[in-house]
Amino acid sequence: MKYLKVVIEKILELLYPSKCPFCGRIWPGICEKCREDYPAIREPRCMKCGKPISKETEEYCYDCKQTKHYYEFGRSLWVHKKPVSEAIYAFKYKNQRVYGEVFARELAKTYGKLLKQRKVEVIIPIPLHKSRRRERGYNQTEILAEYLGKYTGIEVDCISLARVKRTSPQKCYNNKERKKNIKNAFVLRRKMNVENVVLIDDIYTTGSTIDEAARILKEAGVINVYFLTISVGQGY
């Protein structure tokens, strides 16, 4: 059975070869040129949300200086601008689910050691409301989380955290409106018997969604909540 699965995967790879999500070149992941042209975020970065900051002497970005967050800290791979933003859009809305494995592999390679250092026990994707999931056909953050679990060996929980409020897209609002929009959007379906959790989402902008999910988890007894995303925005 295992041999048959490998054969099928090889055939599919020949019929539908892997492509770089940034430029479309046939390549198993991010191609060398795109790695050079669009490097991952490096220091200096905000100690809380991980956004790039201009001065090494600064510890926090403007957003995090003004905002109390429920999560401990988080990290992202790239700044949310082209071609990263276009690749995420295709992953999220154009059924390019294969990009999920590419992005998860990059997250595991870049932050897998950090997750182990922080003794993360469970990976939890930010859930979609059931009606939006029906419309889209899948939840891109679940795909990302499942592959991240595969590459890190950390348990993935796509059940416990549920979205019970159908919210409008956060991009339509300013920071204050985002918090109001996402308030009470999540519930826990079952008790969490873990101390350290990492939330997975595709984009981090102001942190309103991550914060609301972290708040619910902490009320349920989780001690430390971290997050990982593919990209991070720049300000409100």
CATH number of the domain enclosing 154: 3.40.50
Strands 224-232 and 161-163: what pairing?
Answer: unpaired
Q: Domain range holding 183?
A: 38-232
| Total domains present in the chain | 1
Output the pLDDT for position 60: 95
Q: Are 99 and 29 in contact (CB under 8 A)?
A: no
Q: Is residue 15 included in any domain, yes or no? A: no
CA contacts within 13 A on the Cβ side of 141: 25
Q: Is residue 123 included in any domain, yes or no? A: yes
Output the pLDDT for position 184: 85
57-78 pLDDT, tens digit per residue, is 999 999 999 899 999 999 999 9
Q: Is residue 152 included in any domain, yes or no? A: yes
Token digits for 54? Answer: 């201009």
Output the pLDDT for position 85: 97
- Find the mean pLDDT for residues 158-174: 79
Output the pLDDT for position 193: 92
182-202 pLDDT, tens digit per residue, is 888 899 998 889 999 999 999
74-127 pLDDT, tens digit per residue, is 999 999 999 999 999 999 999 999 999 999 999 999 999 999 999 999 999 999
Q: Are 156 and 146 in contact (CB under 8 A)?
A: yes
Please state, in angstroms and rounded to a whole number, the distance separating the CA atoms of residues 147 and 103.
9
Output the pLDDT for position 171: 63
- Find the mean pLDDT for residues 161-178: 74
**Residue 201 burial by Cβ neighbours in a 10 Å radius (0-12, 13-18, 19+):** buried
Q: Is residue 217 included in any domain, yes or no? A: yes
Q: Is residue 81 included in any domain, yes or no? A: yes
- Residues, the chain, total? 236
Q: Is residue 222 included in any domain, yes or no? A: yes
Q: Is residue 125 included in any domain, yes or no? A: yes
Average pLDDT, the chain: 90
Q: Is residue 124 included in any domain, yes or no? A: yes
